[in-house]
Amino acid sequence: MDMQEQLRKIQEEAAASLEAVSDKAGLDALRLKLLGKKGDLTMLLRSMGQLPADMRPKAGQMINEVREKLTAQLDALDSKIKKLEQEKKLAREAIDVTEPRKHTPLGSMHPVSLVQDQLIDVFTGMGFDVVEGPEVEYDHYNFELLNLPKNHPARDAQDTFYIEDNIVLRTHTSPVQARTMLTRKPPIRIVCPGRVYRADEVDATHSPVFHQMEGLVIDEDVTMADLKGTLDAFAKALYGDDVTTRFRPSFFPFTEPSAEVDLTCVNCHGKGCRVCKGTGWIEVLGAGMVNPKVLDMCGIDSKKYRGFAFGVGLERIVMLRYGITDMRALYEGDVRFLSQFRED
């Protein structure tokens, strides 16, 4: 059989095979049979060495013309099969947007997030900036710059999680205040919300992970009266105009003088009840005037500037706000509990 006859036969068989192919696998098999390393055309091309030298150029031209024709036919069929497969896939994956679906439960803001956002609104309304910092903190910022040097007895009360000798999980958000004083010049007016960590046992009123918001004001002629006025405004914005504050002497290394701050009981409004143990007051936060030693360590002239600081536990505020008696309910992720705080 001469070369031309062989090429004609290959084209006729290819045409019949192309008509029968209906999927990608069949097409790949046909392409391999015709154009592969051991395909019909390849084997025919290899047999050209048996032809006389003067016939080889014409034979090679004929083979290449057939190869180009078959390649074009195979590529055209490939495009057609891909299009059909895409249409089938789209048909299988089609979504009927009119079909009724089950109601998808919506999440809600966590009560701690709700209270934190409200407090941020209150303090930013009074001109405070919101500043955040790392939860994994250096001992230098968490303790030393806050007047808690190595071996200070007050460190024992912090029940600190140590990662390394000089790296801790922050026990309060006060290191954010230290970092701010080192990088900003007065006047400074900031609040620092965030998670903090202490090695407490889990019970109805304690958790090893909880949230704080601390505030710091540094300026000339700042007094304790400014602190009380700020906290009175905070208490009234949060609980109503009939709530006020009461200061009791206390001690914090970071502040001097220091005070524990009570609020009028939001349950009985000062009359005395089970929540406030009959006193009419509930302890909510700690505060005081920034210790001059802290100002000096942070590069602020304590002879020119004074300041006050305060810190409030957000879980404490949340529990008072919503009448929650067990802090653990805030962390268990029970949708039935959390859904009560959805703001539609």
Q: Is the same domain home to 116 and 69?
A: no
Q: Is the same domain home to 273 and 156?
A: yes
Q: Is the same domain home to 201 and 315?
A: yes
Percentage, residues of the chain above pLDDT 70: 98
- Rounded Cα distance, 344 and 337, in Å: 16
* DSSP code, position 54: T
Q: What is the pLDDT of residues 196-238, one digit of tens each?
A: 999 888 888 888 999 999 999 999 999 999 999 999 999 998 8
Sheet containing 306-313: order of strands: 129-130, 188-197, 209-219, 306-313, 281-290, 255-264, 245-252
pLDDT of residue 39: 79
> Which CATH number characterizes residue 187's domain?
3.30.930.10
Judge whether 99 lies within some domain: no
Judge whether 242 lies within some domain: yes
Judge whether 102 lies within some domain: no
Q: Which has more confidence, 4 or 223?
A: 223
pLDDT surpassing 70 at residue 146:
yes
Among 118, 108, 102, CA closest to 344? 108
Q: Is the same domain home to 15 and 142?
A: no
pLDDT surpassing 60 at residue 1:
no
pTM, 2 dp: 0.67
- Rounded Cα distance, 130 and 123, in Å: 9
Domain count, the chain: 2
The residue range of the domain holding 11 is 3-92
pLDDT average, residue stretch 99-115 = 82
Helix (H) or strand (E) holding 265: none
Q: Is the same domain home to 151 and 215?
A: yes
Question: Dmax of the chain from CA atoms?
Answer: 119
Domain stop point among 92, 125, 159:
92
Q: What is the pLDDT of residues 306-335, one digit of tens each?
A: 999 999 999 988 888 888 888 898 988 888
Domain stop point among 92, 119, 151:
92
Q: Is the same domain home to 56 and 130?
A: no
Q: Is the same domain home to 268 and 324?
A: yes
259 and 286 in contact (C-beta within 8 Å)? Answer: yes
Q: Is the same domain home to 252 and 198?
A: yes
227 and 256 in contact (C-beta within 8 Å)? Answer: no
Q: Is the same domain home to 131 and 58?
A: no
Mean pLDDT of the chain: 87
Domain stop point among 33, 57, 92:
92
